[in-house]
Structure 1
Amino acid sequence: MHAWPASEVPALPGKGRDLRIHDTATGGRVTLAPGPVARIYVCGITPYDATHMGHAATYNAFDLVQRVWLDTKRQVHYVQNVTDVDDPLLERAMRDGIDWVGLAERETALFREDMTALRMLPPQHYIGAVEAIPGIVPLVERLRDSGAAYELEGDVYFSVDADPHFGQVSNYSTELMRHLSAERGGDPERPGKKNPLDPMLWMAAREGEPSWDGASLGAGRPGWHIECVAIALDHLGMSFDVQGGGSDLIFPHHEMGASHAQTLTGEYPMAKAYVHAGMVGLDGEKMSKSRGNLVFVSRLRRDGVDPAAIRLALLSRHYRADWEWTDQVLQDAVERLDRWRAAVSRPDGPSADALVEELREALSDDLDTPAALAAVDRWAALQTAEGGTDESAPGLVSRAVDALMGVAL
């Protein structure tokens, strides 16, 4: 599966700072100082409705992580999956009377278009669940053969008791885990499971649903969590720098994935930092496909909204915050974009060297985008009020905003 084209990232004078970021597992900030190549895995979409503002906010956060790393003169090895076979996708295809493969391809193509328009840096490896199945099957077999997984009526379940570190990503109570498991695709009430929280690794073939050869597992398809584990281990290995996604993935997805990987390899942890973006709401509820309260990037683009304004709207809220999308949020972003573009269109202006360092400091401090926007606002206001004599300043501001925040002025 191919990703989308990369926009050029301008080089800035000097060097950026190491990223200090909130780690869900420890509940505090950690300083990430990767080697020459920083490694990041971000969970991708299930392509039956793409791309709403909740998606865009999440991928914007991890695009910023990449940009901070690139500014430190590191390379970035970024991997993202596409869950192109799963119950929600099959259910939507059945509801609409269309082929599930065609639905997945159509929505994945639209996601790529949206990511390109928003200038999100693409992953080096963009892997679909279906194409990952040949690598998933041996992992499930290893877990089963080692006693870390078991069969139940043809399905294969992972035993969470096999991982002594289970629960250390979310740090949630068993009661909350059980509630979220039922809410987010698990089956804690199924009779015969060793532990109600045990997640499915391999689903035996069901009538009328797609299935693949699972060797000794029999025909079927993979569970959700093992998909990302297989892709991450194949392309990044263990102890990569950041596992990213929305906060709704903390449990069960990232908790279970970590346990799968740690049990398979005997190493801990799967990722050095678990980083999660907040939820975007609309009309008082989390924006989600199941509720149908979605604002789509593609629809805004069709309505003539500049993608740079959409990106500024996302940047106006801290990535970890839960926040509400409104028309006013977008209007404020449109007006900010106009002010910034007017400021950098002049032939000279106030020196911007200090501004670049302000942006670096803000973004390296847990991706503090509101502080970064405020810094550019101050420069633009000074430019409007007083101007300046530095002929290089407008160009430097334009390059810095592009390089560090992905906004083309």
Structure 2
Amino acid sequence: MPQETFVIAGASLAGAKAAETLRAEGFTGRLLLIGDEIERPYERPPLSKGFLLDKEPREKAHVHEADWYDEHDAELRLGVAVTSIDRAAHEVRLSTGEPIGYDKLLLATGASPRRLDVPGAKLQGIHYLRTMADSAALKQALAHGGRRVVVAGAGWIGLETAAAARAHGNEVTIIDPGATPLHAALGPELGGVYADLHREHGVDLRLGQGVAGFWGAGQVSAVVTSGGAEVPADVVIVGIGVRPNVRLAEEAGLDVSNGILVDASLRTSDPDIYAAGDVANAHNPLLGRRIRVEHWANALNGGPAAARAMLGQDVVYDRVPYFYSDQYDLGMEFSGVATPGEYDEVVYRGDVPGREFIAFWLSGGRVVAGMNVNVWDVTGDVQALIRSGRPVDAARLTDPEVPLAELA
């Protein structure tokens, strides 16, 4: 019987963990992991956290040691991209022109930063953060302190890079059209917590306005807001979200809508092609709907789930979405989905002014999301509450004397 070939397009965290799982689960065929970066697979959180803050070495971000791929007979092709998929021939073509046949294919192509299309957008000194190379360049720009840094976007990347810029001793201004930071992710209630946090650390937070353009003679020197203000800038960081990298899937005729559409086993509309990580818009049976999750835990867990499905195992990927963030002295973990307009209220357990609390988003009396702020070892209990789907007594939920485990 001919040897099977499994190809993973995207040498990302999802791709690397899928490769690891395939070998751990006994796959003995040919295994290729193909990525367009020259850096071996790495995790992205350090790019806006430990590595950017110069607290962690570059190597700590890597998923595996350099020799892992040879030791596990995984062909790691770096600096080369999958450029097309021929579904009928079961073949991908690389940017080198090389064709490679596959029995199963995993698309772990991730996402790319949304770009600002405004005057001056191509000036030097404007940074986007997605890759290790991006983070290294930004760290160099921030490291000496004393610079005027403007951050476009008060989402997670914007806030984390703003905190890193302040830690390096720079002046920071954040510009965002929302009423609060993180409005789309957390709603106005918790967005206000982050607004206060950054202002207390000396950040000039300008909300309700966007970026209309940049000034500079080759190098950026100012940001023009939608309100007409000019904000001096030596360094600009743009963090206005990402777009899933779906071109390969679209051109191959796979079903695509806000990502590559996959079922609960992370299988696409082609039974021999799977997708995982940022690029996958998956049906989540727990939530009863599709969701595309852009966070680290989804790549960490989605890659292995897709690998098991590729091996023919019965897989139902129904994880509670999870992410974490560290800014200044505030650490948090978030579980669930808290889309504004889809919950009734937010209730709190603990000391909100002292930033040591748990927030719960409720819909119909049920917990749909929870965020623990400087409170640890409760994520399992918070996720159990979400998974149970049962109504909870808000008075008991907010009482620190009642163990969360009793409520699930």
The answer to whether the superposition gives a TM-score over 0.5 is: no
Q: More helix by proportion, 1 or 2?
A: 1
- Which is bigger in relative contact order (C-alpha 8 A, separation at least 6)? 1
Shorter chain as denominator, the TM-score bin is: under 0.3
Q: More strand by proportion, 1 or 2?
A: 2
